Amino acid sequence: MNRRADFPLLAANPDLHYLDSAATSQKPAVVLDALREFYETSNANPHRGAYELSVAATDRYDAARATLARFLGVADADCLIFTRGTTEAINLVASAWGWRNVGPGDEIVVTALEHHANFVPWQQLAIGRGATLRICELTSDGHLDLDHFRTLLSSRTKVVAFAHVSNALGTINPVRELVALARELTGAVIVCDGAQGVPHLRVRYDELGVDFYAFSGHKMCGPMAIGGLIGPRWLLETMPPYQMGGDMIEFVHDQTTTWNVLPQKFEAGTPNAAGAVGLAAAADYLDAIGMDEVLRHERELVSDAYARLAAIDGVILYGPPPSERSGVVSFTLDDVHPHDLATILDGDGICIRAGNHCAQPLMRRLDVSATARASFYVYNDKSDTDALIAGVLKAKEVFGHAAV
Ligand code: 7TS
């Protein structure tokens, strides 16, 4: 089905082939309308005023949280904290929980396919607290090596952090298996980076078994600078606030302060209420398509792209087979630098990502400095793949290699 017409930027640029949705998705009109409608009808600072308009803003913000909680299978909506996105959500856990609970001799387990947002906060926590960072390696086809993962886990493990889906390879990690191993062998807090999970898979937080789950709105058709952290109430209640200021306090005495209840304890300052309302509209949009259909559509496109790229002499593809990944395909072409390839493609209106995808530890393991990455979403169709393949063949010619 062609959903391109739902997205004003794409509808206005019929020749544009947007294949960088893993970086950020385009936004449907229903999301842009929701943002505008919030500011036109309900704009006031939530939680601050006793007047009707402020109550309306608060209601809209709370309703957005309830919508997201439903969409993500979170029974206790107060345990869904709005953040700027995945990066802030993971930093919140590493700071508020990590710095109190991780110490010398403890271990933190991460994986080699993490985005820096789920790697550097843990690495720096380990350095700062005298703990050890342990890194789960990958199999040759871009899956986590579960045998290695098992060997890293022990009673010393305080945190186990992994992505739901890899942004660079599209690998879908076996979350329940990872959780089962971590629960069996450690007493660790389990953190899942869902930045590439929520946009592409049907996520039921309450069934995943992880403790913390982080996500970003802008990769799931929502606005930028809104996303969230989901966590268990008992853990969130024992954690100190991450930031201090308005809204997150109960009483401020001269020398001490007590904290507000969840979720406000972790939402200091004026919230991005319009963003939350826009994000709820995005969740409703995806829900109407159905997340199973989203993944089916992406798989169809990525399978076709994978097969056609594989048929081009000089293309190397990275990661698991298409049936085991989300809508991402990472590749290199001969000795053409991925940035040069992206520039050639850009000349024909084809937007792909080139670089290390904020996953330098992964690039080292793949033994490349960068890859080209095309990522598909609900608005892409076969014409985008046709353009991609034509662009890659053209780049081969431009850089002096005979096209197949
Ligand atoms: N984790 C993963 C798996 C991601 O893909 C990203 C962003 C983040 C965390 C950070 O999300 P943010 O919304 O807080 O920035 N990934 C990408 C990408 O692949 N290209 O640009 C951003």
pLDDT tens-digit profile, the chain (404 residues): 579 999 999 999 999 999 999 999 999 999 999 999 999 999 999 987 789 999 999 999 999 999 999 999 999 999 999 999 999 999 999 999 999 999 999 999 999 999 999 999 999 999 999 999 999 999 999 999 999 999 999 999 999 999 999 999 999 999 999 999 999 999 999 999 999 999 999 999 999 999 999 999 999 999 999 999 999 999 999 999 999 999 999 999 999 999 999 999 999 999 999 999 999 999 999 999 999 999 999 999 999 999 999 999 999 999 999 999 999 999 999 999 999 999 999 999 999 999 999 999 999 999 999 999 999 999 999 999 999 999 999 999 999 754 44
> In terms of domains, do 277 and 319 share one?
no
Mark which of 223, 254, 287 sits at the end of a domain.
287
Mark which of 272, 287, 302 sits at the end of a domain.
287
> In terms of domains, do 62 and 129 share one?
yes
> In terms of domains, do 229 and 275 share one?
yes
Q: Ligand 1, closest atom to CA 89?
A: 14
Tokens describing residue 203: 């996520």
> In terms of domains, do 152 and 231 share one?
yes
Ligand 1 center to residue 397 CA distance, Å? 33
Q: Which amino acid is at 63?
A: A
> In terms of domains, do 308 and 272 share one?
no
Q: How far apart are CA 197 and CA 164, in angstroms?
A: 5
Ligand 1 center to residue 195 CA distance, Å? 6
Q: Which of 79, 136, 221, 358 is catalytic?
A: 358
For the residues of 13-51, what is the DSSP string, one character each? -TT-EE-BTTT-----HHHHHHHHHHHHHS-S-TTT-SS
Asked whether residue 15 is domain-assigned, the answer is no
> In terms of domains, do 189 and 302 share one?
no
Number of domains into which the chain is organized: 2
Ligand 1 center to residue 48 CA distance, Å? 32
Asked whether residue 5 is domain-assigned, the answer is no
CATH number at residue 377: 3.90.1150.10
Asked whether residue 25 is domain-assigned, the answer is no
For the residues of 241-288, what is the DSSP string, one character each? PSS-SSSSEEEE-SS-EEEPPTTGGG--SS--HHHHHHHHHHHHHHHH
> In terms of domains, do 250 and 315 share one?
no
> In terms of domains, do 237 and 386 share one?
no
Q: 358 catalytic, yes or no? A: yes
> In terms of domains, do 266 and 298 share one?
no
Domain that includes residue 37, residue range:
30-287
Q: Which residues does 124 contact at the CB level (< 8 Å), separation at least 6?
A: 94
Task: Determine the pLDDT at residue 2.
Answer: 72
Q: Ligand 1, closest atom to CA 359?
A: 19
Asked whether residue 4 is domain-assigned, the answer is no
Answer yes or no: is the C-beta of 264 below 6 A from any ligand 1 atom. no
Asked whether residue 239 is domain-assigned, the answer is yes
Asked whether residue 18 is domain-assigned, the answer is no
Task: Determine the pLDDT at residue 361.
Answer: 98
State the sign of the Cα–Cα–Cα–Cα dihedral 361, 106, 207, 118.
negative
Q: Ligand 1, closest atom to CA 87?
A: 14
Q: Which amino acid is at 70?
A: R
Asked whether residue 22 is domain-assigned, the answer is no
> In terms of domains, do 226 and 360 share one?
no
Answer yes or no: is the C-beta of 6 below 6 A from any ligand 1 atom. no
Q: What are the Cα distances from residue 17, in Å, to 125, 156, 352? A: 40, 48, 9
> In terms of domains, do 283 and 295 share one?
no
> In terms of domains, do 338 and 225 share one?
no
